[in-house]
Chain A
Amino acid sequence: MTYRTSTVLLTIGAALATFMDFLMIAAIMGHLPTLDGWSLPEVGLLYGIAGVAFGITDMCVGNLDLLPRQIRDGTFDVVLVRPVGSLFQVLAMEFGVRRVGKVLQSGAVLAISLTRLHVAWTGPKVAMLAVAPVTASLIFGSVWVIAISQVFWTVDTGEVANSFTYGGSFLTSYPISIFSGWLRDLLAFVIPMAFVSYYPALFILGRPDPLGLPAFTPLLTPLVALAMLGVAGLIWRTGVRHYRGTGS
């Protein structure tokens, strides 16, 4: 953190830049009373939860994007020699403070949206609101690890992974229901992005699920997050073993 002013400016710049994503939503909804039944503050709830979570994930896990280059340069081997867990080391190498900008901006949108929503707050709903960014962050992080782990097997530069990570951030800012058929099913059940913001939001707003799943589905969110963590860890370890095995 040698250039403190620059860090602050980068943070503000990141906050403003990522705010453009919400401006896009606002520009579209200027022509619609609701987006597939979701009003602007309700979409703001989705955007806010997803955004805060993604910002946190980016802060903690974002440096995984360096992995492809490290493998190419051979610097990942240094990581394997140290006794600390390999994944943790990759993450600790550079802490992206400017990603705080994303968290702050999304938090602001979330807060303002909540003031404009008429939610019948109950204990469980408050708990869901508090837990959702955490579980969402875990899901995003798991997807990130899984997506980037493929570079252990391929010669990919890691840009393909970006479509899943940043793409996931985009998708979860909107009601999943606007994405048609196969994409929606993929997002809800295979890569469970629907549990990032959509199901928590349905629970908080007290709305039934248009996809027809039972009412308790939002409560599965923490389980989904933990399951994803397990899958991610498994794939990462398998990838590292494969990397070691090829005698690099």
Chain B
Amino acid sequence: MRVYWELARVGYLRQTAYWGATCAGVFTNTVWGFMISFVQLALFAAHTRVAGYDATDALTYVWVSQGMLMTVYIWGGWVEIAQRIRTGDIATDFHRPVDFQGYWLAQDIGRALYHAIFRGIPPVLVASLVFHLRFPTSPLTWLVFAVSLLLAVCISFALRFLVNLSAFWILDHRGVASIASFAWPFLAGMYGIPLAYLPEPIYRVVSVLPFASMGQAPLSVFLEKPGLVPTLALQAVWVVALLALGRVVLARAERRLVVQGG
């Protein structure tokens, strides 16, 4: 257990080297936050409530989702494992006494913590000076939000893990990854608009997919929307299911590697 704590620290510390990129990223998130805010305001010029959200909810959604982008990290093409598969370094990775999936998950959680603090908080702070946002009043909500965010990171990791593992079978996996995952950020609700804006039948399908549990779920918790327990429960189910799937695929990959004399 101590190992995973250390790995999380490593994941966190690795990010501290890129403080310049972090600052630039905060700027980017802030600019996008403003632009999408104007779009939302245009919508709320015509309605007081849309899909159960009022203007304050919607603006909060925009800014917290911008803050969450890097934390959840579903945009950005993480290819570390795939690269190691391509170079063959992956063979030595399997000889480590640490569980392979756990090794990467722990680091990703450390990374996510750094991004949650340094990419997540600043844009929301700036926005709160300009717009009226809705922050949870109860400390319990903040705690549950943190848990929900952690689950979201795990789901995101599990999906990225699977995408990376495809490099074991596909020579140039980038194309396949591109096709497979093009809709994930949108389905996660990370385009600054709540998924609830989608037509009701579509929303009902989309809301049970793992992607919604990455983005829309923590945001619903933050905004104290109804259905807290089902939201968290669904997140937990997807975390377990996708990590388990990752292990199944990983076992196949390891067998393949051994068979080919790696």
Residue-wise interface mask of B (13-43) relative to A, using a CB-CB cutoff of 8 A (1 in contact, 0 not): 0000000110011011001101100110111
Residue of A13, A35, A170, A171 with most chain B CB atoms under a 10 A cut-off = A13
Q: Are A174 and B39 in contact (CB under 8 A)?
A: yes
Q: Is B169 an interface residue (CB 8 A)?
A: no
Contact between chains at B175 and A27 (CB < 8 Å): no
**Could you mark each residue 139-163 of chain A with 1 if its beta carbon is under 8 Å from any beta carbon of chain B, else 0?**
0000000000000000111111011
Q: How far is the CB of B135 from chain A (nearest CB, A)?
A: 24
CB distance from A185 to the nearest CB of B (A): 14
B100 at the interface (CB under 8 A from A): no
B28 to A163, Cβ gap below 8 A? yes
Q: Would you call B185 an interface residue if the criterion is a C-beta within 8 Å of the partner chain's C-beta atoms?
A: yes
Which of B103-111, B190-198, B212-220, B240-248 contacts the other chain?
B190-198
B186→A23 contact, CB < 8 A: yes
In the complex, how many angstroms separate the beta carbon of B206 from the nearest chain A beta carbon?
11
How close is A151's CB to chain B, nearest CB, in angstroms? 11
Would A3 and B175 count as touching, CB distance under 8 A? yes
Interface size range on B against A: 35 or more
- Give every chain A residue within 8 A of B171 (Cβ-Cβ): 3
The interface stretch among B147-155, B176-184, B221-229 is B176-184
Check if A159 sits within 8 Å of B27, measured CB to CB: yes
Other-chain residue from B27, B38, B178 in contact with A183 (beta carbon distance below 8 A): B38
Contact of B172 among A3, A32, A35 (CB under 8 A): A3
CB-CB under 8 A from B259, the residues of chain A are none
Most buried by A among B35, B177, B178: B178
Q: Within 8 Å of chain B (Cβ to Cβ): is A231?
A: no
Residue A167 CB within 8 A of the other chain: yes
**Complexed CA–CA distance, A30 and B194 (Å):** 13
Stretch of A14-22, A45-53, A123-131, A198-206 at the chain-chain interface: A14-22
- With the chains together, A16 CA to B179 CA distance in Å? 8
What residues of B have a CB within 8 angstroms of the CB of A180 in the complex? 38, 41
Q: Does B47 contact A (CB under 8 A)?
A: yes
- Whether the pair A30, B46 counts as a contact (CB closer than 8 A) is no
Q: Are B186 and A6 in contact (CB under 8 A)?
A: no
B35 touches A6 (CB 8 A): no
Interface string of A173-202 (1 = CB under 8 A from B): 010001110010000000000000000000
Question: Given A24-B192, A160-B27, list of 19 further CB < 8 A pairs?
Answer: A3-B171, A5-B172, A6-B175, A7-B175, A20-B191, A27-B193, A32-B46, A32-B47, A155-B20, A156-B20, A157-B21, A159-B27, A160-B28, A163-B28, A170-B32, A174-B42, A178-B38, A180-B38, A183-B38
